[in-house]
Structure 1
Amino acid sequence: MARKKRSTNPPLFPFFHQGSLKVVLGVVAAGSFAIAFGQEKISQWMSLTPSTSNSACLEQFYRDVPPYLIKDSLRKDSYPLCFNGFNVMYSGVSKTPLWVAESLTPARLSQKIPREDSFHEEERVKEQHRATLADYRGSGYDRGHMAPNADMSNKAAQYDSFSLANMVPQAPKNNQQVWRELEEATRALVTKHKQDVYVITGPTFSGKKLKAIGNGVIVPTSVYKAIYLPKTGAIGAYYAPNDNSLQVKVVSVCYLEEQLGINLFPQLTEEQKRNTYKLPLTANAVKANKPLEYSHWDAESQCAEDVAPEQLQALQRQFKSGGSTATASGTTLDAETQDAIIKQLIEALLHYILQLMNKS
């Protein structure tokens, strides 16, 4: 019987005996370093990326609470839409927004970008509920922004502001003169008084016979802009007929709520919403060192009824989860960024190994 031969295979990892164990350990250490390096780079990238998650959508509302549709008929075919820089409750019945909410801050308005028109249809809305460019063509009405282009601080927000979900058919003189001046006055309150302003803008539809353009886009009878300044408690609303009369008046939030069937500021008390301040009609009327004067207490209008906390929470969840244009752009690395990080990881790993080999 032949004797079993002793194995002549070389020992595994012979370089262990050559004092190069440090290299292997170095590879492991370098791998750990590379992972940590990658995590740090990803964190840095994320911190430099504007936050556009759905949860950021709620920041456009005072204390994160959206306006609430009290009137049941308004809820039919409605769409809560989160955009960059503003939010919309869109109606598939009127094919217009019911309200549009913005949070204006001095920092936001310090960013100026040139206007680039890009009117477009809102594809998140079902086709049968969608306003189209053809609806407005030759109608005699402007495509009137509710959240104005001039409020937008970056290109993404500017593009979103030209969605038809942010538009109503607006009488030319109302849009180009009255409304433009009120938008400028609102921005002046932010920039000259250096304070945040929460804005709710939208249309009203009064009367049994309403005019429509195109394929059923209803023309508002008037337009409104309710504003609240938390720093001083000043509050009130602009209310203008949607015609070429150039008329506008300042009313209480309660007055608007009675007309609309919407609780515009559910987080405020009825007492707060009955207060009415003398809102400026032009930007020149806003003086840097002169706070808004009190106007009157509205004891006659019927304020919107209070909304239960669970109803508001349900609405918040709709905005956080439903139809946002800004769902993942702030948390997903594009291919170019991923390739760059991988390249940096490989370079760091090779550099570290070469250092260890030179020392061994």
Structure 2
Amino acid sequence: MKKCLTILIFFFWMLLQLACREQSNFTQEEKDVQVEVSEEFIAWKAEDFFPTSTTNQIIHHNYYTLSYHEEHEQAEWVAYQLQPNSSSTTDFKRPYFVEDPKVQTASADWRNYRNSGYDKGHLCPAGDMKFSKQAYDDTFYTSNISPQKPDFNAGVWNRLEQKVRYWADKYDGLFVVTGGVLEPNLKTIGKEEVSVPNSFYKVLLRNTGDKLRAIAFLVPHENSEQPLYSFVVSIDELEKRTGIDFFHQLPDDVEKKIEESKDYKEWSFK
């Protein structure tokens, strides 16, 4: 009797172990699926989102990358990751603007801006790079500036930059592409004829955990009190204006979906 009871207990113990092992395997399979999805959408490598270059002169700095346009003497785009809390309250001493040693054709001298009536407008803002002195100082290369009207630079453009920092904190980081729209027959300043864009853009990409969302702003080069959502355009429209393909490395179906949307609410409230 005792022998039969012992065998019965052992049998039920084996069944229990087998059930636990199957449950454990099932849970691990679920985790594996989650990791696979996560790796597809959450792996955050800036180089996966770089736009195309119309000039084939791409310059990599430690914390941002740009495509330099020699004809216009400025970057056609500057791209970087904006991490949450990157714009700390640290106050670094502002360095002088200097030419970018990595630009083979030489970036414009800052003296082109002297007495021009235009600010040296950062494309990658110094305020986005306050997490280290080197990152901050690197934004003062002349390859990273464009002529901007003072009231535009301190007005609507600054409002947009502040909003981008807010979103970076809210959404745990963003990928940012920004620049002036470089077109033929633009006004120029200085001996090197630095082009003055008629409008500036920002393209933002964020990760929601299961998909990517993007939004684009195209802002005329003049101060405005209009709400920021009034400057939202589709990335498709911006690509037609600039000749730049922004997210060409994404799968076609993903690229198509995010580039045709211009829904501010979809971006801001989800």
Query: TM-score range with shorter-chain normalisation?
Result: 0.7 to 0.9
2:253 aligned with 1:275, yes or no?
no
Q: Is the 8 A contact 2:76 2:182 kept in 1?
A: no
Residue aligned with 2:203, SS: strand
Residue 65 (structure 1) shift: 3.8
Tell me which residue corresponds to 2:185: 209
Q: Deviations over 1:30-89 (max 9, x none)?
A: xxxxxxxxxxxxxxxxxxxxxxxxxxxxx762x6342113xxxx32xx521111321111
Distance 2:176 2:66 in 1: 12
Tell me which residue corresponds to 2:235: 253
Distance 1:110 1:212 in 2: 32
Residue 129 (structure 1) shift: 4.2
Which of 175, 196, 215 does residue 198 from structure 1 map onto?
175
- Percent pairwise identity: 31
Q: Which has the higher contact order (CA 8 A, sep 6+)?
A: 1
Residue 142 (structure 1) shift: 0.6
2:214 aligned with 1:235, yes or no?
yes
| Unmatched 5+ stretches in structure 2 | 1-43
Residue 94 (structure 1) shift: 0.7
Which of 258, 262, 266 does residue 248 from structure 2 map onto?
266
Tell me which residue corresponds to 1:142: 119
Residue 105 (structure 1) shift: 1.8
Distance 2:118 2:218 in 1: 19
Change (3 A) 1:113 1:256: same
| Unmatched 5+ stretches in structure 1 | 1-58, 280-289, 295-360
- Counting matched residue pairs gives 215
Residue aligned with 2:152, SS: helix
Tell me which residue corresponds to 2:11: none
Q: Is the 8 A contact 2:122 2:146 kept in 1?
A: yes
Distance 1:245 1:196 in 2: 27
Residue aligned with 1:276, SS: coil
Q: Is the 8 A contact 2:77 2:178 kept in 1?
A: yes
Residue aligned with 1:64, SS: helix
Tell me which residue corresponds to 1:85: 63
Q: Deviations over 1:113-158 (max 9, x none)?
A: 21432222213324x6421111010111110001001111100011
Distance 1:95 1:167 in 2: 9
Distance 2:175 2:260 in 1: 17
Distance 1:65 1:195 in 2: 17
Which of 189, 197, 218 does residue 220 from structure 1 map onto?
197
Residue aligned with 2:115, SS: coil
Residue 110 (structure 1) shift: 6.6
Change (3 A) 1:194 1:226: closer
Which of 93, 97, 109 does residue 132 from structure 1 map onto?
109
Change (3 A) 1:84 1:112: farther
Tell me which residue corresponds to 2:50: 66
Distance 1:235 1:277 in 2: 9
Q: Tell me which structure has the larger Cα radius of gyration.
A: 1
Residue 185 (structure 1) shift: 0.4
Change (3 A) 1:143 1:110: closer
2:128 aligned with 1:151, yes or no?
yes
Distance 1:238 1:117 in 2: 28
AA aligned to 2:50 is P
Residue aligned with 2:268, SS: coil
Please, what TM-score do these two structures have when normalized by structure 2?
Answer: 0.72
Tell me which residue corresponds to 2:74: 96
Q: Is the 8 A contact 2:156 2:223 kept in 1?
A: no
Residue aligned with 2:50, SS: coil
Change (3 A) 1:103 1:209: same
Residue aligned with 2:111, SS: helix
Residue aligned with 1:265, SS: coil
Please, what TM-score do these two structures have when normalized by structure 1?
Answer: 0.55
Runs of 4+ aligned structure 1 residues displaced above 4 Å come to 245-248
AA aligned to 1:66 is F
Distance 1:150 1:184 in 2: 9
| RMSD of aligned alpha carbons | 2.3
Q: Is the 8 A contact 1:100 1:202 kept in 2?
A: yes
